[in-house]
Structure formats: C-alpha cells, structure tokens
Amino acid sequence: MFRTTRAARSGMGAIVLILVSLILPAASATGKAPTTSRKEAPTPPNILFILVDDMGWHDWSGGGSRFYRTPNLDALAAEGMVFENAYASAAVCSPSRASLLTGLTPARLHLTDYIPGEGTPAESRFRVPEFNQQLPDVRTLARDLDEVGYRTAIIGKWHLGGKGSLPTDHGFDWSLAAGPQGHPGSYFWPYGKPGSPGQVPDLAAQGGGPGEYLTDRLTEEAIKYLHDAATHHQDRPFFLELSHYAVHAPLQATEADLAAVKDWTPADGQDNRTYAAMIHALDRSVGKLTATLKELHLDRNTVVVFMSDNGGLDLPNETGSALATSNAPMRAGKGFAYEGGLRVPLIFVEPGHIPAHGHNDTPVYGVDLTPTLLQLAGIKPQDDLDGRSVVPLLHGDSMAKRDMGWNYPHYWDDQLVTPWVVYRQGDLKLIHFNEDDHYEMYDLANDPTEQFNLVHAHPHEAERMKQAMAHWLEQQHAQTPIPRQPPVAGSAPSAKP
C-alpha cells in the first residue's frame, strides 16, 4: 500500500499526471484498451460528489414527487443522466457510505450497520455479529485519486469512524465538519450543544452566528473550496465530496424555507412541511454550486454526481402523518429490505461527455461509484472490486444486467427491522428474513411495489434464487446473525410493512 507522506504524494501526483498523459496514447498505439472512454485529450476531470442523507428515491420533483419542488436539481438532471433504477449499497448510512468510497460491498467490508449500531434486543432469535466500527484500511476512491495528483476533500458527514479513521486517514487531503457522528445536534449554529458528541466538529470554532443554517454553511464552505481550486490550483484536478447532513433528523428548517413551502400541496403521503423546507434548502444548495461552477468556468471539465445514501425515512408519526417522507408507491423505507429502503436518486453530469436529458433504467448501485469515477478520471479500477464501472451507460451504450446483493444481519428501532438478506438476479428479487426464516420473491419488472410474493407460486425458481443467495453470501465472506442457544420462544417475526 502507498505509504509516502502527503507532501510527497502531492509532488509525485503531479509527475504521475504527466506520465499518464504520455502513457495513454502509447497504450492505444499498442492495441491495448485505454483505461478511459473520454473522447478528448486525457485531461482528468474535476469531480464534485453531492451526497445527501436519507433522501428518498422520489423526494424531488424530477423523480416524480408532486409535493416537493426542486427546480435546481431538475435543471442539473437535465444536463446529464438520471438512473431510474439506482440503489444504495445498504439501507442505512455508514455501510452505504463505506461502499461508495471503496467499491466493495458492506458484506465484504464487515461494516453492515450504522456506527455504532443498536446491538442485540433481549427478545430475539439471534445475536448480531460484531462488525467494523470504522472504515477498514482498504483502498478508497480518495486515496486512488490522491495518488495521481488530485486534491481530495470532504465537507460534511463522515460517520465512518473517529480518531485514527477520519477522512485524512483514508486518502482525503482535507476535511471540514466530518467527524464520527451520524447527525448534527442541531441544524442551527453552533450546531449542537458545545462539547457534546453530536456537535458538528470544526464549524463552530470557525465562526458563525445565531440563525446560521447548516445546509447553507456547508454549501458556502464548498463554494470557497471551488473558488480556491479555480484561483490557486488550476494545474491540479479536485475531488470534492459535499456530504450533507440533511435531510436526516433532527428535522429543522429556517423560517424563510418554511415560508417558501407553505403553499406546496401534500400528495402521495408526503406532507411534512419541515422536511419539505429541508429539501428546499438542499435544492438551493445545488443551484448555488452549479452556478459557481459556471461562474468559475469549471463546469465543462467537472463531473457532478448527486446521490442519497439510502432510502427515505418512511414511518408515520403518532397522528399518521409522515414522520419524514413517503416512498410510495415503493414499499417501506430506510432500514427495510424493500424497494423504498434501497432505491435512491442518482444523477451523473459531465457536459460534452455525458449526453444531456439522459435516462437509464439499468439497475446500478452504490458499489459502482468508485470504479465509475476512477474510469472517468482515467484510472483503471482494480479487478477485485465488487462494483463495476457504468461509464458505458453514461456514454449511451448498454451493459448486461448483473446480480446484486445486500446483507443486513442487525436489528433496528426495537425490532421494527430484523435481520435480512436481499438478492437480485435480473428482475427477480429474493428476500430472506432470518428472524422467522421466511422468504419473499418479487418480479420487479411487473411488480415494482412488491405486492405479490411468488415464492409459493414458483417454487423451483425460488429454490434456484435461494441457492444463488447462499453462494453470494459465501463469496462475500458475509457475517450472518448468530443463533441464540436455545432460541427464545415466541420471538417476534420480522416486520412486513
């Protein structure tokens, strides 16, 4: 593994960029396939990755919402490609984020729940396995980009470990507001009780004042970074991850944003105005960022990716209204094995390389982000990644569908969610609920809302899928729930919303 100092890497990175520009044409001349399908000279693009927390698959007007209004996000999508069947690598945040940065599944990383997780309930058939409480020391997207000369930075949520496993320990040159916590103590300055674990690090110490809103502050810090890149580092591409804490709880919004959404009409179970106001603030962030890229003439050589880390929190409050959002007509939400927990918005934009107004319905998932961005940067992805580059799809070509898997050997929210495994092969999706050892199988092409369980109607197909799921778990060296000895009598079955 690369072990030089960061200062040495910066100098070596510049040399590597020059070597890459010389080697790529030579590789083509020898008949070997180049590592990138970019159509112009191999000038590595900048990368701006906007990652949102807990945003559902259609929590934006371009994704089908009739409640939320997101003109800036819609405009961004119109400039590139929207993936209609995009999935997170996990239904909760930490494992999803680990997978995005490594190209490895949470099952392989043994990081399968949000950190630190909720442990084992007293009344359950299983004990949960011990899982990694920080991102393991593996290759990361940031590290690979750093080593070929990229400036790498993250602003916002990290949630992949504390001291010893912070972003700068995993390939990022610089980070801000990126600590071990999974959500802010408050969205208003100083972003939580001073000194409390939930307070967002760095920001309070760097100034601010009453009424300052976290989503806006993170956006302004990202804009400062873009200005610095355009002014002082034109010779080096950047990878900037803006990792918003929004729209994760606590649900809090400014009075101005609440006023902006007061006339929006609830629809399809989406009716929480505070959540809507947070979506409005996120949309404003996207607009400011894209405007800055154009102002600084960075837009023509910058890949912009917009994605959520898992499905929206689709649970009712005590009155029956949405606690956060609704993923209808998709079933359930964050934490669950159903489509509402795994489906997310995903947009790729790169003017001149990715055609505008693109839509693609090929199933892709978070594990694909690292190999895709590496290829767009002119770097050959490692062969042992679980993800695959979707660059052919971005350039209008087709790719064969492939099998996809998810493993969640944990309990969440007092057994509202119990351990499950999901395996998708073609249009068939098999779910195994460990707690009561039952299976469900759905044909997503004809039943995307997962209403008709086909396990008993098609037993031979179900058995084939069970064997494929077992083989996948074995290949991944996946952890599974540990049976209690003896099992607790009268255990609660898995929740099936």
Active site residue 280: no
At residue 356, the 3 state secondary structure works out as coil
Active site residue 159: yes
3-state secondary structure labels for all residues of 414-458: CCCECCEEEEEECCEEEEEECCCCEEEEEECCCCCCCCCCCCCCC
Q: Which residue do the tokens 């990361």 mark?
A: 140
Q: Which residues pair with 420 in a beta bridge?
A: 408, 433
Catalytic residue of the set 159, 244, 280, 353: 159
User: CB under 8 Å, gap of 24 or more: what pairs does 177-182 form?
Assistant: 177/201, 177/202, 177/203, 177/218, 177/221, 178/154, 178/243, 180/115, 182/93, 182/94, 182/114, 182/115, 182/157, 182/248
Closest residue by Cα to residue 406 from 309, 496, 329, 478: 478
Instruction: Measure CA 64 to chain center.
Output: 20
Structure tokens at 9: 């890497």
Give the phi and the psi of residue 225 in degrees, each rounded to 5.
-65, -40
Structure tokens at 48: 């701006």
DSSP at 43:
-
Q: Which residue do the tokens 């007509």 mark?
A: 329
Catalytic residue of the set 93, 110, 183, 353: 93
Whether the CB-CB separation of 155 and 240 falls below 8 Å is answered with yes
- What is the spatial distance between Cα 124 and Cα 415, in angstroms, rounded to a whole number? 8
- Return the active site residues: 93, 159
